[in-house]
Amino acid sequence: MNLFKLRPSCTAVVGASPIPPGLRKEWMDRRISLCELSAKKLPEEGLWISLHGGVFDITSFLRGHPGGPQVLLSCAGGDATTAFDEVGHSRKAMDIALRRCIVGLMEDCEPSGFVSNAISRG
């Protein structure tokens, strides 16, 4: 039997999306529930926060955060939008969040601020 022939074709189009694969970032298609977010508040389970309707995995950023790990730990598993905005985080901070941390979007929540801007940019 030729196993190579049994491999699914990489070019098969299943449920074709109007946006060509590769152009749309994966996090834009992933919806995360409040329940899923709130389970991510222990370093062993991973640490997630939501900001402006986006969900960010901050587990590996904890040590590198210029504001220290404690503030991130204290809001893990919940919405930290107000705290994040009150600090007046720079454009650079938002770029780090989008490049290194974002994993999805909150279910039933309209993205705002830098997250909705990133979606518009594509």
Residue 56 sits in the site that holds ligand HEM (CB under 6 A) = yes
53 is written with which tokens?
A: 């309707």
Binds ligand HEM by CB under 6 A, chosen from 8, 21, 66, 122: 66
6 is written with which tokens?
A: 């049994």
Q: Minimum distance between the CB of residue 81 and ligand HEM, rounded to whole angstroms?
A: 8
Binds ligand HEM by CB under 6 A, chosen from 47, 80, 106, 115: 80
Residue 115 sits in the site that holds ligand HEM (CB under 6 A) = no
Closest CA to 39 of 55, 19, 61, 63: 55
Walk across the sheet containing 46-51 and list its strands.
31-32, 102-106, 54-57, 46-51, 41-42
Given a contact cutoff of 8 angstroms between Cβ atoms, the answer to whether 30 and 103 are in contact is yes
Between 34 and 69, CB nearer to ligand HEM = 69
Q: Minimum distance between the CB of residue 57 and ligand HEM, rounded to whole angstroms?
A: 9
Between 3 and 86, CB nearer to ligand HEM = 86
